[in-house]
Amino acid sequence: MAKVHEPQMDSMRMNRVRPLTNAGYNVLFIILAAMAIIPILFVFIISISSEESIRQVGYSFIPSSLSSSAYDFLWNERDTIFNALWISVLVTITGTLLGLALTSTMGYVLSRPVFKLKGFYTWSVFIPMIFNGGMAASYVVNANLLGLKNSIWALILPLAVSSFNIIVCKTFFRSTIPDSIIESAKIDGATQLRIFSTIVLPISKPVLATIGLFLTFGYWNDWFQSSLYITDSHLVSLQALLNNMMKSLDYLANNPTAGLSLQQYRNQMPSESVRMAIAVVIVIPIACAYPFFQKYFISGLTIGAVKG
């Protein structure tokens, strides 16, 4: 009996992590976690530091005095900020759902070996990932040909589909969905739409969550589309609005509160701490959404890994 279990014992002995190595891994992971958490904590501390403290000791984990003036300033601009927040939420939700629908369907079609135009569409997806027409060509197409300027769709459509995301979906469907399942459904009389909606999608949660997270981050953090296509202040996204607030006091001067003059408005604005408060406002919503995607996101990242 001892000889029978010797290979298993040798395998367990080889795969065993030594206590010193395990402690080293723990220290390494603690350092990596601290590198991710400490900057966020530092930004928050600066956001609640008073302007006088920042002038005296600079950026510090232990400010000489605390103040909520930065958040009070943002609260005074709540009408404009809440409108921009609503635009960002609407764009993020709509764009993510639309992007998932377009990306998953395109990836599924390209993963089917019997699709006659598979080669043509594969090159059509792959080439833009390497070469693109540039910003000028994109602006002409989106603003002039499609008429998307000053439209909510200008914030959604340009980011809805990515060649990288399509290739990820194609790889997942090709390596995970057995052809036998598709053929069995066809024999039972199921259409391609029914096969995709009732068979493929339910077992594709990892890749859908991964692509959904990519799209959510992309839409939420995007400010460039607003600066490029939007001149209507009611359609500016939160990131574009806060970016304008950080870069220029002139934007705030065009949206005064309580009839304050430009000089008074500048004097009342906490310049340094409000920059950090803006960063906190942008980061918190997306940070709260990430844990809901984490389980499937990790599974999606391991697509194509060697299985034992």
Q: How far is CA 208 from CA 107, 193, 219, in A?
A: 11, 17, 16
276 close to 44: Cβ distance less than 8 angstroms: yes
**Residue 95: band (very low, low, confident or very high) from pLDDT cuts 50, 70, 90:** very high
| 164-177 residue pLDDT tens | 889 888 888 888 88
Q: Across the chain, what does the average pLDDT equal? A: 78
Residue type, 216: T
Q: How far is CA 183 from CA 109, 138, 179, 193, 197, in A?
A: 15, 41, 6, 14, 15
Q: Is the pLDDT of residue 248 over 70?
A: no
H helix or E strand, kind and range, residue 216: helix 205-221
**Residue 7: band (very low, low, confident or very high) from pLDDT cuts 50, 70, 90:** low
Least confident of 66-70, 286-290, 297-301: 297-301
Q: What are phi and psi of 30, to 5 degrees?
A: -65, -40
Average pLDDT estimate for 127-134: 78
Q: Is the pLDDT of residue 258 over 50?
A: no
Helices 19-47 and 271-301: crossing angle in degrees, nearest 10, is 140
Q: Is the pLDDT of residue 5 over 60?
A: no
- The segment with the largest mean pLDDT, out of 194-198, 242-246, 275-279, is 194-198
- The segment with the largest mean pLDDT, out of 30-44, 72-86, 281-295, is 30-44
Average pLDDT estimate for 237-262: 62
Least confident of 146-155, 220-229, 232-241, 260-269: 260-269
Q: What integer pLDDT is reported at residue 302 of this predicted model? A: 53
**Residue 90: band (very low, low, confident or very high) from pLDDT cuts 50, 70, 90:** very high
Q: Is the pLDDT of residue 129 over 90?
A: no
Q: What integer pLDDT is reported at residue 255 of this predicted model? A: 55
**Residue 103: band (very low, low, confident or very high) from pLDDT cuts 50, 70, 90:** very high
Average pLDDT estimate for 224-244: 84
